[in-house]
Structure 1
């Protein structure tokens, strides 16, 4: 059995994007296995995958600074020697850890190429930019494996992963009707749709699709916030945020009809199951390469670029141009309803 050691510690959405690529690789190379180093919280993403060993590494707690990376390299060298190392992150920590292990073991190392200059140009404060789509991160991950001698056919059909949920899922799955997952928030305000407009969108969807069941995903504090929404009184709205562990959230996502999300980790988690995902974009843009796995581009809703001509402003949504704070409000609730209804009623 040939083993590749993979390095990818963050961010949550980027780690999630790695999952379908590893599944494709393992399906196409029966004699291949992976050992993935990442943050412990992300382990549920990879639980259903055979021939993948997930090693949870808490860099902030256990391996801080260059001294911590050196100690981690020494600990890893006590374990089995892999065939090669795939740096799927290419940040300072992996730029130190990868070469240390490669040199000590005498094995090849391949790194992900990020095109940081092209991404910076795409986010420049310039009006009416010629937006060129960069290589997707799914393809960039596959490129690393190809450099190590394992090219992948990403068009190959593969059944979605099966996540075994706990009995806590039963009350969420009991209601009949199409099931829409919604992740109303993102890490940054610049890529979060105005919450009052989100509520209007959900109210319009419930009016148009009377037996629709809506599931709100997010962090524990967001669940508390969602419970204060007027629409939360509806028996057809179910707050998942803060109620289920990540493994159960994934199992629930696998049972949904469609999903509505910002450019966020929930978007990439929902993409594991290749159900329709309507995504809303603000400061960021699909052209940066972070579009969800196997989703048609027509499912993306963008701000009015005539009204906000300098967009996009950031690769990850962390920066928004002054005066552009309400750009996402130019996406109307009716646009969201029009995009989702055919998918829910299919």
Structure 2
């Protein structure tokens, strides 16, 4: 490498969980090669996830298209582009920037074969390890320290002040939302889980989950606090950091919980952990995660991402989840 202080652009445009899953790449690059200057490119709505990261010198925002983005970035004179998104948009960016690049393997063919024919040719490898393979040409090694999530001081939550009903009691953080409906536990299942759990719960999610959270909180007013739609992402992360345990579907909050090495109940619907997106914990963790999933369904996985409704109309991948298993895990504090 000719430049004694190489400048690298890491690219991951979305979304919350995927960006959190790239954090070991940032940490390993910077701690193992302090001379590297790391820049990060993402969409504007996700920039706040990366901005507090001390390993990143500068966060850049994706513009309307690859050409406009490349025009903004051209003056940075990057030595390498590390493409951790790897789609047509980032291909256009790399072509326009005309600098050496390395892209991670999305294993789209293997995922398609698993979804379409249920042929399991998926590698037994987490996506974090595939991200790290993208920078192995630089000599980067996995440090085994798991994920990172850095909370800005303005987002630190004082639980007794914000949620006086909880006070200083141990509580469970329950993520009720997800990017796709087929990743969410149905409302009636959530109600049963909340009824069975003996500990106080704080419900987390976005504005789109506020009504679901309100329905649950009205039913269990003394035990359940609805924070859906009321917190910024960093504040939700602060709540998760202070929780005794975290219950979450396959969503960004699950990966944030893994970044804080929390005990996690990970709930899976139409997608499967074998895609390599299960909780990624430090090598020395004392808090192994627990999976809740319905194995053996001939229709699962029906997508590598998710749907707004079950394509088969029965939604057995979530309807058959055992609420008692989730509650028993939560109550074992």
Q: Which residue of 2 aligns with 1:74?
A: 71
Of 116, 127, 133 in structure 1, the residue corresponding to residue 108 of structure 2 is 116
Cα offset, 1:179, TM superposition: 2.0
Q: Which residue of 2 aligns with 1:89?
A: 85
1:138 and 2:128 correspond:
yes
Alignment partners' CA distance in 2, 1:316 and 1:195: 21
Unpaired runs of at least 5, structure 2: none
Question: Which string of whole-angstrom CA distances, capped at 9 and with x for unpartnered residues, describes residues 81-122 of structure 1?
Answer: 223110111101001101221x2xxx4210111111111111
Within 5 A, what are the aligned runs for 1:177-188? 177-188=169-180
Alignment partners' CA distance in 2, 1:110 and 1:262: 31
Please say if residues 240 and 257 of structure 2, whose CA atoms lie closer than 8 Å, have aligned partners that are also in contact: yes
Cα offset, 1:17, TM superposition: 1.3
Alignment partners' CA distance in 2, 1:26 and 1:35: 11
Within 5 A, what are the aligned runs for 1:23-62? 23-59=27-63
CA RMSD of aligned residues (A): 2.6
Cα offset, 1:309, TM superposition: 2.7
Q: Which residue of 2 aligns with 1:267?
A: 254
Of 162, 172, 176 in structure 2, the residue corresponding to residue 171 of structure 1 is 162
Corresponding residue SS for 2:135: helix
Alignment partners' CA distance in 1, 2:319 and 2:102: 42
Alignment partners' CA distance in 1, 2:288 and 2:302: 20
Please say if residues 176 and 205 of structure 2, whose CA atoms lie closer than 8 Å, have aligned partners that are also in contact: yes
Please say if residues 161 and 272 of structure 1, whose CA atoms lie closer than 8 Å, have aligned partners that are also in contact: no
Q: Which residue of 2 aligns with 1:286?
A: 273
Of 293, 316, 329 in structure 2, the residue corresponding to residue 302 of structure 1 is 293
Question: Which string of whole-angstrom CA distances, capped at 9 and with x for unpartnered residues, describes residues 150-169 of structure 1?
Answer: 42224247987454244764
Report the CA distance shift for 1:99/1:52 in structure 2 as closer, same or farther (over 3 A): same
Kindly tell me the number of residue pairs found equivalent between the two proteins. Answer: 321
Q: Which residue of 1 aligns with 2:300?
A: 311
Alignment partners' CA distance in 1, 2:209 and 2:200: 19
Please say if residues 253 and 270 of structure 1, whose CA atoms lie closer than 8 Å, have aligned partners that are also in contact: yes
1:2 and 2:11 correspond:
no
1:239 and 2:231 correspond:
no
Q: Which moved more, 1:197-206 or 1:169-178?
A: 169-178
Alignment partners' CA distance in 1, 2:328 and 2:229: 30
Alignment partners' CA distance in 1, 2:306 and 2:106: 17
Report the CA distance shift for 1:131/1:276 in structure 2 as closer, same or farther (over 3 A): farther
Of 185, 189, 193 in structure 2, the residue corresponding to residue 197 of structure 1 is 189
Please say if residues 14 and 46 of structure 2, whose CA atoms lie closer than 8 Å, have aligned partners that are also in contact: no
Question: Which string of whole-angstrom CA distances, capped at 9 and with x for unpartnered residues, describes residues 299-318 of structure 1?
Answer: 1111142xx23312211123
TM-score (norm 2): 0.86
Please say if residues 164 and 251 of structure 1, whose CA atoms lie closer than 8 Å, have aligned partners that are also in contact: no
Question: Which string of whole-angstrom CA distances, capped at 9 and with x for unpartnered residues, describes residues 1-27 of structure 1?
Answer: 432101111233212211233223323
Alignment partners' CA distance in 2, 1:84 and 1:289: 26
Corresponding residue SS for 2:59: strand
Report the CA distance shift for 1:201/1:131 in structure 2 as closer, same or farther (over 3 A): farther
Cα offset, 1:180, TM superposition: 1.2
Corresponding residue SS for 1:110: strand
